Amino acid sequence: MSENGFPSLRLVPKAEAPLSTRDFKTDQEVRWCPGCGDYAILAAVQSFMPELGIKRENTVFVSGIGCSSRFPYYMNTYGVHSIHGRAPAIATGLASSRRDLSVWVVTGDGDALSIGGNHLIHALRRNVNLKILLFNNRIYGLTKGQYSPTSELGKITKSTPMGSLDAPFNPLSLAIGAEASFVARSIDSDRQHLQSVLRAAARHEGTALVEIYQNCNIFNDGAFEVLKEPGTRDEALIRLEHGQPIRFGAEGGSGVFRGPDGELFTAPVTPDNEARLLVHDAHAASPATAFALSRIADADTLHHTPIGVLRDVERPVYDQLMESQLATAAAHRGPGDLATLLAGGDTWTVD
Amino acid sequence: MTSQVDQSEAVDGSDGDKGRSGSAEERPATAGSADAHAPGGPPPSRAKPIRRLDRVIIRFAGDSGDGMQLTGDRFTSETAAFGNDLSTLPNFPAEIRAPAGTLPGVSSFQLHFADHDILTPGDAPNVLVAMNPAALKANLPDLPRGAQIIVNTDEFTKRALAKVGYPADPLSDGSLEGFHLHKVPLTTLTLEALKDSGLARKDAERAKNMFALGLLSWMYHRPTHGTESFLRGKFAKKPQIAEANISAFRAGWNFGETTESFAVSYEVPPARLPAGRYRNISGNLALSYGLIAASQRSGLPLYLGSYPITPASDILHELSRHKNFGVRTFQAEDEIAGIGAALGASFGGALGVTTTSGPGVALKSETIGLAVSLELPLLIVDIQRGGPSTGLPTKTEQADLLQAMFGRNGEAPVPIVAPATPAECFDAALEAARIAVAYRTPVFLLSDGYLANGSEPWRIPEVDELPEIDPKFATGPNREDGAFWPYLRDPHTLARPWALPGTPGLEHRIGGIEKQDGTGNISYDPANHDFMVRTRQAKVDGITVKPVEVDDPTGDARVLVLGWGSTYGPITAAVRRVRADGGEIAQAHLRNLNPFPANLGSVLRSYEKVVVPEMNLGQLALLLRAKYLVDAEPYNQVRGLPFKAAQLADVLSAAIGTLDEEDHR
């Protein structure tokens, strides 16, 4: 780990003086709807960035299309607001050619999982050094309220007046299935937790996928209310901590256990079963438990929704591998010489 | 080789099919004729008479699995090393191994070589090597009477004949009487030559293409050491296979020397090309080298984002071999990601390139539009093939011009450059990069399947002759108040500043939403949008390109023939024929299709008739009519193959004739 604690930013120049939240705010008027969860996420990210200790000009935010994708305009860094679904591809080109940059992708459930699903899964399997923030509000906001790939089955929307027929994606299950080396979830309204997840993502070498539950107060208001309400959130949320037994509920009265069939289940913690509580291991080589955790929530009620880092493992990083092939080629064959290249092969001379 | 030639050298219309050859002289065998050596041995005494030819067209044809492309490539290399001018036309099916012995499975390679400057792979072969009945049947219609046919008689079995619908054996039913037929049991002879090689029969049989190559190398006095060392290198890990192929190759050579069925051999002296150092080069290789050269001359690291597609994949393959030049190649998950990654790399200061063919361009359209809006350098290389949809993946066409020109939403102008010959693909890559970097814009490079796979001698340029490309990155604020405006343009080029991430103080956000002139901030203002749309168009319209040159030797021509892209060879060959027959015709060829050269309008208006041959249904003609209000007359063909010189010569002569008739009315 490098001196600033972010090994993935090893090649990124350090800031000469500490930066502040204000350094990351732009002069642009923020144009999200009043009350949108995106404001909270923006504030959390802006106040987190100085912690990285890197030069602001070496930070790039890349986005696609959708409400979330306006994000780069509000970050006083380099930024590209691209086209629908393609941000991971564009960011891959940037990150794999500029290892001195910290590259972040901001996307949404429609952008990342519908039109851009292919790019997302391939970025994850390649393990390019990208930090992907997926704002999941389970609805299409910018196009005014159609169902999204994470909307629940039967959802009534403008395009599904009789209810959606689509089974939704579970973004974290999808990411783990796509060989993601870092998978985490947080909530827009919990700044402290969100920043802890951003911190872990920023440390991670390779692609990090952070799903952020984000409230769309216009088209899908209250979608995650059960996870936020003081009366329900303790029962509904499972806060994962690496190395800790997984407990939740008031006073940690409930926990996650592994049954004799290998499946995970939740149950009240008793003196008898306390020793058998599942201990969270984000670094487990096998993705099996992380996958099981990603599916432990009740899809209808969102009860037992895990947040935090589900998976964080080391795997070869694409841009490092690419760089090392260039270095190997130059070491073996010497730096390329154009004249030699052009005159290679069989040549003849005409006088 | 297509430039710097004295036209008088070729006034006999040498790119055509006036019988078997332009001219021939026979001379007695000379002992120790030094231009060809018996493979593996000392210079032989040629026991048979030698005829001198000025040019020959050979077509190798067989099953997709018979190694015809390799055979053609080797004969081409031998020919290039010998110093002939040459032009090639590989022609193969999209299927990797179509059913053996069938017409759809026939793969061929045509080579035209000469002692003078030539422009096309030739209209009609003088020599056909047919490895099986399907190859004979598929190619016979292209052969002029009197052509030589070398067939592998071992493959002319009842079953093989029936498979392609021959009711009787064409080798014995008299149907080939008008040709000079050589019946050679190539398989048997190859097996005989390799009987001590220790190879299984099936493996030994596979060397029959090298036997054929040896025979043709004897017939045309080709140097053979290159092929032998090539085979040793190719099969370095399988020395037994290498030696078997070399044995078959030598056996074929010796067969020609000793058998009675080949009475004469032929000599085509080296061509008188402009002085310099030469190599043979295909369009895709030249294009790859051009991209590396552009990277070296600009100091921008090359980043290729690509998805495999015929006939563009060879550029991806080639560039991936040159990582020691700092070349990054990214094989993406799809066409869209290929261009997306290239554009992302461009944002970071690379020379972003994506390579594809027509169907891939369709998928990339939205990202090209984004690049237009971001105003970042990006090269889109389209190796055109037959369309629409999957079309004819391995065949050539020029039908993506309008897609390149207009195939995006909104007003999204993109400059277009198009090489005319395989070797010119090198220059086109540099020209595309020059425009992209100087004007901060995506640029289309339109090559095609014929240029990509065809080859010709290339005079290797000196590195310091190549243009330098200055990226002129933004290094500091561009406003008096210390601000940086990402869309504050250069007043001359209208290019915006290219500020790379990592440059302090120039942090900025760009995107596909319309932006305010200067600041680049999001703007929905009607007047601003109108201004920005017109400014992006004006930037492309204002790109400096070389004037189009007109070849009108007498200055009296009334008809102009205007082409673009790979039709250059056949058009020029046709023009030579017309002139050799006393006709007057002017010729011009476009390398820049957007913007057009500034003098194009006056050139078009100075001729009474303008003929525009294209391998599409009239796309350039449509643009010329729209822009210049001239009655450009299209002549079109979409057969997946290049025009023939004879065919175009007839069209041009007819155009001249029409004007003359009108005069007499």
pLDDT tens column, B160-180: 999 999 999 999 999 999 999
Write the pLDDT tens digit of every residue in A225-257: 999 999 999 999 999 999 999 999 989 999 999
User: Strands B127-130 and B148-152: what pairing?
Assistant: parallel
pLDDT tier for residue A91 given thresholds of 50, 70 and 90: very high
DSSP state of B411: S
The predicted pLDDT at position B158 comes to 95
Q: Of B277, B337, B352, which has the smallest distance from its Cβ to A119's Cβ?
A: B337
For residue B287, pLDDT beyond 50: yes
CA atoms of B581 and A300, how far apart (whole Å): 85
**B48/B442 Cα distance (integer angstroms):** 60
Instruction: Spell out which residues of chain B touch residue A319, defining contact as CB-CB under 8 Å.
Output: none
Query: DSSP string spanning A83-119?
Result: -TT-HHHHHHHHHHH-TTSEEEEEEEHHIIIIITHHH
Q: Which two tokens stand for residue B123?
A: 């209209």
On the question of pLDDT at B19 being above 60, the answer is: no
SS3 label, residue B45: strand
**What does the radius of gyration of chain A's CA atoms come to, in whole angstroms?**
22
Question: Does the pLDDT of residue B207 top 80, yes or no?
Answer: yes
A335 min Cα distance to partner chain B (Å): 5
Identify from A19, A83, A84, A320 which residue to disrupt to test chain B contact, counting B C-beta atoms within 10 A and taking the largest count: A83
What confidence score (pLDDT) does residue A261 get? Answer: 95
- Name the amino acid, one letter, at A55: K
Best to test chain A binding among B86, B280, B322, B324 (most A CBs inside 10 Å): B324
| Confidence band for B39, pLDDT divided at 50, 70 and 90 | low
pLDDT confidence bin for A299, thresholds 50/70/90? confident
Which of A290-304, B6-20, B301-315 comes out lowest in average pLDDT? Answer: B6-20
Structure tokens at B244: 């078997």
Q: Decide if pLDDT at A176 tops 90.
A: yes
Tell me if B510 and A13 make a contact (CB, 8 A cut-off): no
Which percentage of chain B shows pLDDT scores above 90? Answer: 88
Gap between the Cα atoms of B224 and B250, Å rounded: 9
DSSP B646: H
- Reference A186, options A281, A309, A61, A103; nearest CA is A309
Could you give the 3-state DSSP secondary structure of residue B373? helix
Contact B342 A93 (CB under 8 A): yes
CB pairs under 8 A between A and B: 210
The arithmetic mean of pLDDT across residues A293-308, rounded, is 95
ipTM: 0.97
Q: In the beta sheet, which residues pair with residue B112?
A: B57, B87
pLDDT on residue B25: 55
Q: Look at residue A177 and give its three-state secondary structure.
A: helix
pLDDT of B6 higher than 50: no
> Which helix (DSSP H) or strand (DSSP E) does residue B180 occupy?
strand B180-184
pLDDT single digits (tens) B522-563: 999 999 999 999 999 999 999 999 999 999 999 999 999 999
Spatial neighbors of B252 by CB under 8 A, at least 6 apart, are: B189, B210, B211, B212, B213, B214, B215, B216, B217, B218
Q: Which of B275, B345, B504 sits opposite A351 (nearest CB)?
A: B275
- pLDDT the model gives residue B665: 78
Contact between B651 and B585 (Cβ < 8 Å): no
Task: Give the per-residue pLDDT at B49.
Answer: 87
SS (H, E, C) A291-338: HHHHCCCCCCCCCCEEEEEEEECCCCCHHHHHHHHHHHHHHHHCCCCH
What is the token pair recorded at A148?
């999204």
Spatial CA neighbour of B582 closest among B608, B556, B562, B609: B556
pLDDT, mean over chain B: 92
pLDDT of B26 reads: 55
Calpha distance B18→B144 (Å, rounded):
9
CA-based nearest residue in chain A for residue B372 = A82
**What integer pLDDT is reported at residue B385 of this predicted model?**
98
Q: Are B626 and B549 in contact (CB under 8 A)?
A: no
Please state the rounded mean pLDDT for residues B288-316.
98
CA dist., res. B110 & res. B644, Å (int): 13
Per CB-CB distance under 8 Å, the chain A contacts of B521 are: 28
Per-residue pLDDT tens over the stretch B560-589: 999 999 999 999 999 999 999 999 999 999
Per-residue pLDDT band for B27 (boundaries 50, 70, 90) equals: low
Note whether B277 contacts A325, CB cutoff 8 Å: no
Instruction: With beta carbons less than 8 A apart as the criterion, state whether B436 and B374 touch.
Output: no
- Give the Cβ contact number of residue A119 at 10 Å: 29
Q: Which of B509, B515, B519 to mutate to test the interface with A (most CBs of A within 10 A)?
A: B509
Inter-CA distances, B514 with A250, B42, B480, B541, Å: 51, 74, 25, 20
C-beta atoms of B340 and A89 within 8 A:
yes
**Residue B44: predicted pLDDT:** 54
Residue B321 CA, chain-centre distance (Å), reads: 21
Query: Which helix (H) or strand (E) covers residue B593, if one does?
Result: strand B592-594
B277-302 mean pLDDT: 97
- Residue B36: predicted pLDDT: 46
* Residue B609: pLDDT band with limits 50, 70, 90: very high
Q: Do A86 and B337 touch (CB under 8 A)?
A: yes
Closest chain A C-alpha to B219 CA, distance in angstroms: 22
Q: Please list every residue in chain B whose beta carbon sits closer than 8 Å to the beta carbon of residue A96.
A: 328, 330, 341, 345
Q: pTM of the prediction?
A: 0.93
Answer whether residue B22 shows pLDDT above 80: no
Residue to substitute from A90, A92, A319, interface B, most B β-carbons within 10 A: A90
State the greatest distance between any 2 C-alpha atoms of chain B, in Å, as a whole number: 91
Beta strands in chain A (DSSP E): 59-63, 78-81, 102-108, 130-136, 182-187, 208-213, 237-239, 247-248, 254-258, 264-268, 305-312, 347-350
B390-449, pLDDT tens digit by residue?
999 999 999 999 999 999 999 999 999 999 999 999 999 999 999 999 999 999 999 999
CA angle in degrees (0–180, nearest 5) for A163-A166-A172: 125
Q: What integer pLDDT is reported at residue B163 of this predicted model?
A: 94
Tens of pLDDT, residue by residue over B237-262, are: 999 999 999 999 999 999 999 988 88
Structure-block tokens of residue B158:
């009842």
The structure tokens listed for B150 are 């070398």
- The partner residues of A10 in beta bridges, in order of sequence, read none
Chain A closest CA to B335's CA: distance in Å? 10
Whether residues A82 and B511 touch (CB distance < 8 A) is answered with yes
Is the confidence at residue B10, as pLDDT, over 50? no
Which residue of chain B comes nearest to A125, CA vs CA?
B333
- The pLDDT value recorded for residue B3 is 36
The shortest CB-CB distance from B502 to any of A58, A322, A326 is to A58
What was the pLDDT predicted at B84? 93
pLDDT, mean over chain A: 96
Can you tell me the distance from the alpha carbon of B504 to that of B517, in angstroms, rounded to the nearest whole number? 22
Contact state of A80 with B81 under an 8 Å Cβ cutoff: no
Q: What mean pLDDT is predicted for residues A204-217?
A: 98
Q: Are A117 and A75 in contact (CB under 8 A)?
A: no
Which pLDDT belongs to residue B11? 35
Are the Cβ atoms of B348 and A97 closer than 8 angstroms?
yes
Residue A5 pLDDT:
82
By three-state DSSP, how is residue B327 classified?
A: coil
Give the closest of A79, A86, A325 to B336, CB-based.
Answer: A86
pLDDT above 50 (res B500): yes
